[in-house]
Amino acid sequence: MIILIIILVVAALIGFGLYNSLVGKKNQVENAFASIDVFLKKRYDLIPNLVATVKQYMQHEADTLTKVTEMRARATSGSVGTDEKVEINNQLSAGLGRIMVAVEAYPELKANENFNQLQRTLNETEEQLSAARRAFNASVTDFNNAVEMFPTNILAGMMGYTRRTLLVTPEAERANVNVGDLFKR
Amino acid sequence: MSDRSAFQDFHATTLARPLAELEARRLSITKFAYAAFAPLGLMAVIFATGVRENGVIAYVLLGLTALGLGGWFYYLQSDFRDDFKREIVTRVIGFFSPGLRYNPKSRISRTQFETGDIFQHRIDRYNGEDHVTGQLGQTAFEFSELHAEYKTTTRTKNGTQTHWHTIFKGLYFIADFNKDFRGDTVVLPDSLQSAFGFLGQKLQSLNFSRGQLIKLEDPEFEKAFVVYSDDQIEARYILTPALMQRMVELKRKVGGRVYFAFTGSKVHVAIPTSKDHFEPRIFSTLLDVSAIEQYYHDLQLISGIIEDLNLNTRIWTKA
């Protein structure tokens, strides 16, 4: 009788432990996703400044600048869903990348102290953003492992947890990495 | 002019004269050593084989003489060493980069070492020498040799016995990092995961004296290192895929264990070595260029960490 009780108590404790670790992992994923938002917001804040600084120098890139401004407005409007938001931000990355490449053709702009500072901040934000994405992917992997591996998969099935998808960098943005090479990152 | 011929030029113009003087001193010291210790050794052998009536007294006398001569030799030798470092090593370092300061008797402060938090054991004895500080490119840095130890005492029949254990012995390098960050991240050589795989990783995440375990994407890096940090995102902000590659490369170059800590916007690199750097060799000639060149190479290797980790790339807000 006592043995049976002990077995039950131990089994219950293990069950609680597994349950809590699953919930913890799920929250970790959500937390990581939210922190991407923090850095996206930081990037939105930079864009008006950047556009204002480069506008007077870059007449030929007026198109790109307008587009970037528009996309920023759409992304911050609050009426877009998650998928759409990801899409807009991918385009935004590509647009910013184009601007940074185009800068090479404007020596006065490159010499501008204000622009330099903006460029540094933007570099930093992009790097933080990519760190946040990687952190998100790491926590999703952790979560997915728990959902699929024994014994947590049994519990996950009962809780209705399913695999999450990783954030994948689209082609356009991979090209953006080459922009970094231009600046000898 | 190539690096090598530039060094030889420098050697011929600047070092040759002080080296010749030091060489003369070195020779007199080795002569003293041979002259003093050869007869002493011979006497010891004679005493040991032949039976003497006043054996005890003879042994005591012999011991005292050996002690006295040994002490004198040590004094000569360390005096020579100090002068060698002041005359030669200082000049080599100045040649390498004029902005560097060299203090043979100083070291990385214990506070700095403890701030790095790579080695968490309580320290009972802290020594070090050959402290170099300065700036290369935009990166301020310093390094020195360090030896940190802790002691244990065991009780025996005749009282207590003290044992000293090494926590860290080798080169300790600190440089200004090119990005700002607030938290603490340590990168340690991985022993568990490479030996036990997934289970090892589980054990790593249960390390209570460190922050959270950071799992990174680079499989080569993950095999070589284990990362703990108090901030998942900041750790990845520091450890970009490019930097991870560079750290693996540095580890390969060092050919042994390397420890990293990122704290207070600085990077600490600890490399355990048994080699004593920047020391003269008493029993071989100083006039050999390649022996002196070795100091230059060591210097290149150590300060090369700045390039290895790409610390002079300053494209972020930290100037």
SS (H, E, C) chain B: CCHHHHHHHHHHHHHHHHHHHHHHHHHHHHHHHHHHHHHHHHHHHHHHHCCCCCHHHHHHHHHHHHHHHHHHHHHHHHHHHHHHHHHHHHHHHHHHCCCCEEECCCCCCHHHHHHHCCCCCCCCEEEEEEEEEEEECCEEEEEEEEEEEEEEEEEECCEEEEEEEEEEEEEEEEEECCCCCCCCEEEEECCHHHHHHHHHHHHHCCCCCCCEEECCCCHHHHHHEEEEECCHHHHHHHCCHHHHHHHHHHHHHHCCCCEEEEECCEEEEEEECCCCCCCCCCCCCCCCHHHHHHHHHHHHHHHHHHHHCCCCCCCCCCC
Q: What is the ipTM of this complex?
A: 0.75
The pLDDT score that the predictor gives to residue A150 is 86
Q: Residue A114, SS3? A: helix
Cβ–Cβ gap A135/B240 under 8 Å: no
The confidence score (pLDDT) of residue A181 equals 45
Nearest to A162 by CA among A26, A32, A27, A31: A26
State how far the alpha carbon of B240 is from the alpha carbons of A88, A126, B32, in Å: 24, 12, 57
Please check the confidence at residue B16 and state whether its pLDDT lies above 60.
yes
- How many CB atoms within 10 Å of residue A171? 10
How buried is B30 (Cβ within 10 angstroms: 0-12 exposed, 13-18 middle, 19+ buried)? Answer: middle
Per cent of chain A over pLDDT 90 is 22
**Tokens in use for B169?**
């012995």
Give the model's pLDDT for residue A184. Answer: 42
Distances (CA, A) of B246 to A177, B29, B307: 18, 45, 10
Is A173's pLDDT higher than 60? no
Structure confidence at residue A98 (pLDDT): 86
Q: Report angle CA B184, B190, B195 to the nearest 5 degrees.
A: 150
Establish if B233 touches chain A: CB-CB under 8 angstroms: yes
For residue B43, CA distances in Å to B58, B63, B71 come to: 10, 11, 19
The pLDDT, as a whole number, for residue A179 is 42
Residues B60-69 have a mean pLDDT of 84
CB contact under 8 A, A185 and B242: yes
- Interface size, chain A vs chain B, as Cβ–Cβ contacts under 8 Å: 51
Q: Model confidence over B220-269: pLDDT tens digits? A: 899 899 999 999 999 999 999 999 999 999 999 989 899 999 999 999 99
Taking 90 as the threshold, does the pLDDT of residue A59 lie above it?
Answer: no
DSSP A77: S
End-to-end CA distance of chain A: 68
pLDDT band at B53 (very low <50, low <70, confident <90, very high): low
- How many other C-beta atoms are found inside a 10 Å radius of the C-beta of residue A18? 16
Task: Give, as one character, the DSSP assignment of residue A6.
Answer: H
**Which residues partner with B102 through β-bridges?**
B132
Q: Using a CB–CB cutoff of 8 Å, tell me whether B240 touches chain A.
A: yes
- Tell me how far apart the alpha carbons of residues B120 and A12 are, in angstroms, rounded to a whole number: 37
Chain A contact set for B216 (CB, 8 A): 134, 138
Would you place residue B59 in the very low, low, confident or very high pLDDT band (cuts 50, 70, 90)?
A: confident
Q: Please state, in angstroms and rounded to a whole number, the distance separating the CA atoms of residues A86 and B12.
A: 65
The pLDDT, as a whole number, for residue B194 is 63
Residues in B closer than 8 angstroms to A126, CB to CB, are none
* pLDDT of the residue at B55: 67
What φ, ψ does residue B135 adopt, rounded to 5°?
A: -140, 135
Q: Is B202 on the interface with A (CB under 8 A)?
A: no
Determine whether the interchain pair A127/B240 forms a contact, defined as Cβ–Cβ distance below 8 Å. yes
Backbone dihedral angles phi then psi of residue B136, each to the nearest 5 degrees = -125, 125
| Whole-number pLDDT of residue A93 | 87
Query: Phi and psi dihedrals of A113, rounded to 5?
Result: -60, -45
Share of chain A above pLDDT 70, in %: 91
B12, two tokens: 């011929």
- Give the global pTM: 0.82
β-bridge partners, B77: none
Distance between CA B203 and CA B244 in Å, rounded?
23
CA distances from B68 to B29, B34, B35 (A): 15, 15, 14
Task: Select from A120, A128, A139 the Cβ nearest to the Cβ of B237.
Answer: A128
- Contact (CB<8Å) A32/B232: yes
Give the integer Cα–Cα distance in Å for A129 and B25.
Answer: 62
Rounded to 5 degrees, φ, ψ at B169 are: -140, 125
The region of weakest confidence among A51-60, B108-117, B139-148 is: A51-60
Q: What percent of chain B has pLDDT over 70?
A: 95
As a whole number, mean pLDDT of residues A35-61 equals 87
Contact residues, chain A, for B313 at CB < 8 Å:
184-185
A123 CB neighbours in chain B (<8 A) are: 315-316
Q: Is the pLDDT of residue A185 over 50?
A: no
Q: Which residue of A has its CA nearest to B180?
A: A124
Q: Does residue A129 carry a pLDDT above 80?
A: yes
pLDDT at B2: 67
* Mean pLDDT, residues B149-169 taken together: 91
- Over residues B286-317, the pLDDT tens digits come to 888 888 898 999 999 898 999 999 999 888 88
Compute the average pLDDT of residues B13-20: 90
Mean pLDDT value across chain B: 88
- pLDDT digits over B160-214, tens only? 889 999 999 999 999 999 999 999 999 999 877 666 666 777 777 777 788 899 9
